[in-house]
Amino acid sequence: MQNESTIAAAEIPVSESAKRTEMIHEDTTAKLFLLSSVTYFFIVGIIALLIAAKFVMPSFLGTIPQLTYGRLRPLHVNGMLFGWLLACDMALMYYVVPRLCGVKLWSEKLGIATGVLWNVIILSAVVSFLMGWNQGWEYAELPLILDVGVVLAWVMFGANVFMTIANRKYQAMYVTLWYAMGTILWTAFVYLTGNFATLFTTGVNQANLNWMYVHNAVGLIFTPVGLAIAYYFIPKASNTPLYSHKLSMIGFWSLAFVYVWTGAHHMLHGPISQWLQTITIVFSVMLLIPVWAAVYNFFATMKGQWHQLRDNVSLKFLMSGVVFYLLTCFQGPMHSLHVVNAIVSKTDWIPGHAHMAVLGAFSFFAIAGTYYALPRLFNTELYSDALANWSFWLLLIGGLGFFVTLWLGGFWQGWQWNNPAIPFIDTVVALQPVWAVRLGSGFLMFGGIVAFGYNVLATVLGAKGSGVEANPAEVAA
Amino acid sequence: MDYTYPSVYFAYFFFLIVAIGALYFFVKSYRDGYWGDEGEEIKYRIFEEEELGGENGRK
């Protein structure tokens, strides 16, 4: 395909070209994080099924303390957020950043140490949650000692990425690097606030800080790193230049400006001041600006290229993720409106919305990045395109069943809660069909995770020795 | 001890630092040409490595 990128590449001096071909990325850190994250995706997927089953059969697994809902739920949430998604996102950053900078990763040793520490944290978290040791804060359940470990690991990750960028060969930075740096800085701010600042406040202030953390764990951690991945892999997987780099800059700066204020919309109708409620509504609606800037850019990039979706699994995940990103970011601002919030707040609508963001959008981006990067990391071909397609359709159909059911069920639940004539226990009984569909959808999604995990495992085990170059065109498909 | 007022003043101070930092980097991005006529050239670079020796930089 002769496009502008080919022309740009051809203009690079031969000496530059020769220097670049001599560079071999070790990628040990990226491999370590990637394989760990996929393993946790599978294990925590089982936990997800168990807690979904408990909604349908409350006495399932009896009264064994380690298998009660209260212990498994934080294990599922933290396992998926930090064991799977953030670790996979970090793996992809370790893969992407050196390539965009035209240099090797600053320190593979530091990266490996970060990976080992990260695994120690996740495994310790599993033990701690099963034993019931947690701080009792949404998304911030990790015991304090593990919080300190996360901060240390993040500093090590940030130092490696920033130093790699500081040593970059090119002065101008592609938007993915902007988002990578933004993620590192914003995560530091959000994580410290949610896990440490909350210890020094009480009452409403504490609740406000916690919700600022919970919402921005998605908005200022998984969103920017997810977009960093999408901005890199959509053009790469489709072999098509991004529609507009300037538009991506508008999206970046507008996201930086509006996101931090939106967390308080979870506290609407609560005992928080009116000015904060008004601010959070205004900024939540303003979220549509960075969202549309990103989504329009991705759609415009795919103009004339949609036929590639037929054979390209990475693109299927990426563009489905973009659609889910648009939908979930339409839900968010609507949820912040008083009239809608009065119905859906605290209902099953919320986990439906959160899963659409974390699984439908950002996990789809991470899976796409994995399918694209894995054969290149291990210098081989993907084990099975058919299995990759199965993983896509199972996750898509299961995900849709989950999101839509909880979205509609949440409205139904909220309407019942707003009717004082209906006893609360009746609303619980009424939701049984919704939770049955939720469990069924969970089985489909878990099937997708198994197909994805097995494909990754088989690809790695079947990896050919170093020096055998895979055909990128075949692997991309 | 009630930490409410110290935490509020710290929050104001922190947001001021963040706002100054954001303004600085925004102006810097303008000066570095991200918003100029050549701002779009960056997006073609991600294809260069693959075409000049393989995705891994291997020949």
A312 CA to centre of own chain: 21
In a domain, A171, yes or no: yes
Domain that holds residue A48: 2-302+310-462
Both tokens of A325, joined, read 């990103």
Are the C-beta atoms of A88 and A370 separated by less than 8 Å?
Answer: yes
Higher pLDDT, B35 or A318: A318
How confident is the model over A383-403, as a mean pLDDT?
97
- pLDDT reported for residue A470: 43
pLDDT per position as a tens digit, A122-143: 999 999 999 999 998 989 999 9
Written as one letter, the residue type at A247 is: L
CB contact under 8 A, B56 and A24: yes
Q: Quote the mean pLDDT of chain A.
A: 91
Closest Cα partner for A186 from A156, A149, A153, A213?
A213
pLDDT per position as a tens digit, A255-304: 988 888 888 888 898 888 888 888 899 999 999 999 999 999 999 999 99
In a domain, A160, yes or no: yes
- Closest chain A C-alpha to B40 CA, distance in angstroms: 5
Q: Is the pLDDT reported for residue A401 higher than 50?
A: yes
What percentage of residues in chain A have a pLDDT greater than 70? 92
How confident is the model over A39-44, as a mean pLDDT?
98
Q: Would you list the DSSP string of A411-434?
A: HHHHHHHT-TTS-HHHHHHHTHHH
pTM for the whole structure: 0.90
3-state secondary structure A103-117: CCCCCHHHHHHHHHH
Put simply, whether B36 touches A (Cβ < 8 Å) is no
- pLDDT reported for residue A464: 59
CB contact under 8 A, A6 and B51: yes
B40 CA to centre of own chain: 16
Residue in A12, A23, A239 nearest the CB of B48: A12
Q: Is the pLDDT reported for residue A183 higher than 90?
A: yes
In a domain, A7, yes or no: yes
- Closest chain A C-alpha to B48 CA, distance in angstroms: 5
In a domain, A468, yes or no: no
- Closest chain B C-alpha to A291 CA, distance in angstroms: 19
For residue A247, what are the CA distances in angstroms to A127, A251, A298, A332, B47?
A: 45, 6, 10, 22, 20
CB contact under 8 A, A242 and B43: yes
Q: How many domains does chain A have?
A: 1
In a domain, A46, yes or no: yes
CA angle A309/A315/A320 to nearest 5° reads: 90
In a domain, A472, yes or no: no
How confident is the model over A32-39, as a mean pLDDT?
98
CB contact under 8 A, B46 and A235: yes
- pLDDT reported for residue B10: 78
- pLDDT reported for residue A374: 96
Of A206-215, A427-436, A442-451, which gets the smallest average pLDDT? A206-215
CB contact burial A93-122 (16+ within 10 A = b; e otherwise) = bbbbbbbbbbbbbbbbebbbebbebbbebb
DSSP-based three-state secondary structure for A137: coil
In a domain, A340, yes or no: yes
Find the CATH number of the domain harbouring A443.
Answer: 1.20.210.10
